Amino acid sequence: MPEIKVLSEEVISKIAAGEVIERPASVLKELIENSLDAGASRIEIEIKRAGRGLIRVHDDGRGMDREDLRLSLSRHATSKLNSFEDIYSLATFGFRGEALYSIFAVSRLKMSSCPAGSEFGFAIEGEGGRVTAEIPAPPVKGTTIEAADLFFNTPARAKFMKSDAAERAHLIKTVEEAALANLGTAFRLVIDGSEMFSLPVLPGGMWENLKSRASVIFGKSIYAGLARVEGKTSGMAVYGFVSRPDALAATRVNQHFFVNRRPVGSALLKQALYRGYGHMLTGRHPACALFVELDPGAFDANMHPQKRDVKFSSENEIFKTISGTVYEELLKKQTAAVELGTKAGGSKFAVSDVPGYREPQAPPQPAAETGGLFDFSPAGAEAPGPVPSDWRGQDLSYLGQLAKSYLLFECGAGLLVVDQHAAQERVLFEKYLEEFSTGVIKVQPLLVPLEAELSRSQMETALKWRDWMKTAGFEIDQRGPSVALLRAAPALFYFTQNAFSEFLGYLSEVLGEPEKAAEDVKKNIIATMACKKSIKAHDFVKPQEALRLMEDLKKAKDGHHCPHGRPTLFFLSAADIARRFQRSSAV
């Protein structure tokens, strides 16, 4: 018969720790939540060696006396919950009374605290759940908790940790989310001795503070693409920032959702956001800091120890309110933008605006319906005129340029219309990939390096990929916590300051995700982005340049599409033209 044993307290505490403390960021999250619950107006965080070395959180909150300090370390010790019923109406963050107990079980812990007005502070030290010292501490109002050598006594768990860069990214995200959700508290984050950010509480209202924090946390370029949304229905409110439909990104890394100012991961909220973009989405992803305020009884966030999952009691209502708010606000802004655009003379020239571009029998475009007004899918891509397969073999005679964007050629008896930038991108793209795969990228050092302002997590990724970027012909350097420098680039490309900033910001989002993506995919991504952002030849094109571009395009493997898949050209046959004039024959 197997012998039944009762587990020792030490083993029990490690098991409990395993549930609550998954990685350094979970420790940090718990400590920050405790500081917020203690009413802190300022929280200072210090991290060493990606949280494995040290996680230190100092707050100016209400503090604990000697007795509370001791108690706080025991299991199910909490000052926030008296009865089980409270769980359903609790407005504070934690309730399980397990966090400090669990952190203590797997680290060397030092806590010092002093309640307001008290003359003495007090400190407790210990490791692996055992107290080793209780000593007086200076009477500094608030609490300081240091968790050092995380998982020192659970080597199996330590092995599950990801790279330093990955753990650091989680730590930074934890602070970013806390700072977005708690605008009345100042945050400062120091990692390995250097300040990542300091977010004071500014005079002015909630929006002022949210804006200034979002611009630091998202970085200037993503921030510039955000729109403010706000909506209300009975029993709930939604507000925050979401990407404008013309500023969507390649990945979802910059999405932050909050329910009652608590960061959450929720498929429902995510889906509702995406639904809010409807057809404007085009396979790309919005950034967001989206806040939902609900009656605390209307959802349950405590079923999972990590407390990121939420369950809502009325999912339909929430889904509708969020998607409806996002949709309406974006529609309003988009309509305003379109109206402005036409007043300014309509310098933006979309293919579908070309009179007579569509087949005459095609039904008229629905105007106010979802498709017409703000169709962000590649304009007109759904119905390009058939491309004569033999245009490569034909003599082209250059007719001229239209709207500084399109090159017109006579081809056979028809008209070949070429999107100049799309064609240039395609040619550049293939030349670069050719150089890349033969290993001979011509690199051009920059006399004056270009700068890119990045968010913290983008910078993490950029640094992680620095070596690979070098093989791609880009020499990246860091200056300060949020500025990356470009010292050399492939000679094929020419970037402006802004273009480089967008290129790198975007790239460090995309490269962040598919760590294990095939080399080909990564090459493709960097080539696509570089071509998009690199300056093309001048808008005005001389006839020889137009013809040379067509020679290059003829040689391209896929001359019919730009690297993003938009068509580079379409063809109006002589018969098409004749039909428009209601002639019975082509000529």
CB of 78 to ligand ADP, least distance (A): 3
CB of 168 to ligand ADP, least distance (A): 23
CB of 430 to ligand ADP, least distance (A): 57
Q: Which is nearer to Mg ion, 99 or 422 (CB)?
A: 99
Among the listed residues 14, 29, 56, 96, the single contact to ligand ADP using CB under 6 A: 96
Alpha-carbon dihedral 425, 431, 437, 443, rounded to 10 degrees: -100
Interface residues toward Mg ion, by CB under 5 A: 34, 94, 99
- 60's tokens: 């100016």
Asked if residue 306 binds ligand ADP (CB under 6 A), the reply is: no
CB neighbours of 1 closer than 8 A, spacing ≥ 6? none
Which residue number is nearest to Mg ion in terms of Cβ? 94
Asked if residue 94 binds ligand ADP (CB under 6 A), the reply is: yes
Side chain identity, residue 219? G
CB of 41 to ligand ADP, least distance (A): 13
**Binding partner of 243, given Mg ion, ligand ADP, none, CB within 5-8 angstroms per partner class:** none
**Binding partner of 427, given Mg ion, ligand ADP, none, CB within 5-8 angstroms per partner class:** none
- 555's tokens: 């040689």
CB of 198 to ligand ADP, least distance (A): 20
SS3 580: helix
Asked if residue 99 binds ligand ADP (CB under 6 A), the reply is: yes
Side chain identity, residue 426? R
Among the listed residues 12, 70, 79, 576, the single contact to ligand ADP using CB under 6 A: 79
The angle subtended at Cα 45 by Cα 41 and Cα 47, nearest 5°, is 175
CB of 316 to ligand ADP, least distance (A): 32
Distances (CA, A) of 25 to 20, 182, 515: 11, 18, 20
Asked if residue 62 binds ligand ADP (CB under 6 A), the reply is: yes
**Binding partner of 80, given ligand ADP, Mg ion, none, CB within 5-8 angstroms per partner class:** ligand ADP
Q: Which long-range contacts (CB under 8 A, 24 or more apart) does 561-564 make?
A: 561/422, 561/426, 562/419, 562/421, 562/422, 562/423, 562/425, 562/426, 562/429, 563/425, 563/426, 563/429, 563/524, 563/527, 563/528, 563/531, 563/532, 564/378, 564/425, 564/528, 564/532
Q: Which is nearer to Mg ion, 56 or 426 (CB)?
A: 56
**Quick one: which of 29, 17, 5 has its CA closest to 153?**
17
Q: How remote is the C-alpha of 485 from its chain's centroid?
A: 21
Q: Which is nearer to Mg ion, 142 or 490 (CB)?
A: 142
- 457's tokens: 């997590």
**Binding partner of 59, given Mg ion, ligand ADP, none, CB within 5-8 angstroms per partner class:** ligand ADP
SS3 248: coil
Among the listed residues 80, 252, 261, 466, the single contact to ligand ADP using CB under 6 A: 80
**What is the rounded distance in angstroms from the CA atom of residue 44 to the CA atom of residue 187?**
6
Are the C-beta atoms of 376 and 245 separated by less than 8 Å?
yes
**Binding partner of 96, given ligand ADP, Mg ion, none, CB within 5-8 angstroms per partner class:** ligand ADP
Q: Segment contacting ligand ADP (CB under 6 A): 96-104, 204-212, 302-310, 360-368?
A: 96-104
Sequential DSSP letters for 530-571: HHHHSPPSPSS--HHHHHHHHHHHHHSTTTTB-TTS-BSEEE
Asked if residue 78 binds ligand ADP (CB under 6 A), the reply is: yes
Q: Segment contacting ligand ADP (CB under 6 A): 32-40, 292-300, 347-355, 385-393?
A: 32-40
Q: Which is nearer to ligand ADP, 111 or 290 (CB)?
A: 111
**What is the rounded distance in angstroms from the CA atom of residue 211 to the CA atom of residue 232?**
20
CB of 14 to ligand ADP, least distance (A): 16
Q: Token match 């956001």: residue?
A: 273
CB of 104 to ligand ADP, least distance (A): 9
Q: Which is nearer to ligand ADP, 43 or 485 (CB)?
A: 43
Side chain identity, residue 580? R
CB of 475 to ligand ADP, least distance (A): 45
CB of 149 to ligand ADP, least distance (A): 19
**Binding partner of 424, given ligand ADP, Mg ion, none, CB within 5-8 angstroms per partner class:** none
Are the C-beta atoms of 58 and 141 separated by less than 8 Å?
no
CB of 186 to ligand ADP, least distance (A): 15
Asked if residue 129 binds ligand ADP (CB under 6 A), the reply is: no
Q: How remote is the C-alpha of 539 from its chain's centroid?
A: 32
Asked if residue 77 binds ligand ADP (CB under 6 A), the reply is: yes
**What is the rounded distance in angstroms from the CA atom of residue 29 to the CA atom of residue 21?**
10
**Binding partner of 16, given ligand ADP, Mg ion, none, CB within 5-8 angstroms per partner class:** none
User: Please, what's the b/e burial string for 152-168 (b: 16 or more CB within 10 A of its CB; e: otherwise)?
Assistant: ebbeebeeebeebebbb
Asked if residue 72 binds ligand ADP (CB under 6 A), the reply is: yes
Asked if residue 38 binds ligand ADP (CB under 6 A), the reply is: yes
CB of 81 to ligand ADP, least distance (A): 7
CB of 52 to Mg ion, least distance (A): 22
**Sign (positive or negative) of CA dihedral 158, 160, 163, 169:** negative
Helix %, strand %, coil % of the chain (to 5): 40, 25, 40
Asked if residue 141 binds ligand ADP (CB under 6 A), the reply is: no
Among the listed residues 97, 231, 305, 324, the single contact to ligand ADP using CB under 6 A: 97
Side chain identity, residue 75? R
Q: Which is nearer to ligand ADP, 62 or 470 (CB)?
A: 62
Among the listed residues 17, 43, 47, 100, the single contact to ligand ADP using CB under 6 A: 100
**Binding partner of 323, given ligand ADP, Mg ion, none, CB within 5-8 angstroms per partner class:** none
**Quick one: which of 160, 215, 186 has its CA closest to 44?**
186
The footprint of ligand ADP (CB under 6 A) covers 30, 34-35, 38, 59, 61-64, 72, 77-80, 94-101, 143
